[in-house]
Amino acid sequence: MKTERTKTLAAVFALGGVWDTIAGLIYIFAIGTGRAIDNPEMHPFYAVFLGSFFLSFAWMQILSSLNIRRYAFSIGCLVFGRLFYVITLFCFMWIDKDFPNTFWFTGIIDLGLAVITPAIGIWAGLRPQEMFLPKIEPDQMVH
């Protein structure tokens, strides 16, 4: 794997963690019924609950970026999660005419991260299997 390209991959993956940190803090402190962003309506508990997941993903990305080669599988996990979120968000915006378009920009950012991160991984020398299928050594298998 090419060292400079690996640094770029790690930086982009950590940047995704920064984005998820921002999203987590917004969910925890600003989203929910009676708060700054209350459309769609959501009980503040659920906003804090979702925010805690964002912070978990952020922590995983930032720490994984410190040894991206070892934790390459984290890239694949986050790509699938981001794509599921983006598809679900845009489907609701397209199908439900009353669904607010408040979060369209998050869909664009997450879609960008879902596309660019594995692309940079391949450019850096990772094989798709390293990002999307965990490598299991025979002595590590559960019997």
Q: Could you report the per-residue pLDDT of 77-123, keeping only the tens digit for each?
A: 999 999 999 999 999 999 998 888 888 999 999 999 999 999 999 99
Q: For position 42, what pLDDT does the model report?
A: 86
Q: For position 1, what pLDDT does the model report?
A: 57
- pLDDT level of residue 141 (50, 70, 90 thresholds): low
Helices (H) and strands (E) in the chain, counts: 5, 0
CB 6 within 8 A of CB 69: yes
pTM of the model: 0.85
Q: For position 143, what pLDDT does the model report?
A: 59
- pLDDT level of residue 134 (50, 70, 90 thresholds): confident
Rounded CA-CA distance 41/126 in Å is 42
Contacts of residue 142, defined as CB under 8 A and 6 or more positions apart, other chains included, come to none
CB-neighbour burial class of residue 64 (10 A; exposed 0-12, middle 13-18, buried 19+): buried
